[in-house]
Amino acid sequence: MTLQRLGVMPSFSRPSVSDDNPFSESLFRTLKYCPIYPTRPFADIEQARQWVHTFVNWYNNEHRHSGIKFVTPAQRHYGEDRQILENRQSVYEAAKLQDLIAGETGQLATGVGLKRFGLTSQKSTSVTARI
């Protein structure tokens, strides 16, 4: 059975143009890479519907979206994101302050110092980083 017979109409827009529908493409990518993506075909339509229901619940209540500052759509919808973002900012500020204090002694707050490591191979230039 073709998609047209199921009522799905093809798009004739060119790739990478402004009317490409990036929203559906983004959703399909999220769907494809979500941790609950099925590894086998569905046995029947009811199993497919159940999986979509589970995916929508995951998407709205568990998946943190980069476009809305890594909160869930449900948190944004119910206004819970404000408190989450305020708390997150407090944690960032405390971490910055701790890092500044640790920077004065050359030690991280955990007592672990700076360590040299190579990025790609023994011949590559080593860099100093806090780990």
2 bridge partner residues: none
Interval 62-98: pLDDT, tens: 999 988 999 999 999 999 999 999 999 999 888 888 8
pLDDT score of 129: 46
Better-scored residue on pLDDT, 130 or 101: 101
Q: What angle do CA 127, 128, 131 make, to 5 degrees?
A: 120
Say which range, 2-6, 8-12, 50-54, 67-71, has the weakest mean pLDDT.
8-12
Round to whole Å and give the CA distance between 99 and 108.
Answer: 7
Q: pTM surpassing 0.85? A: no
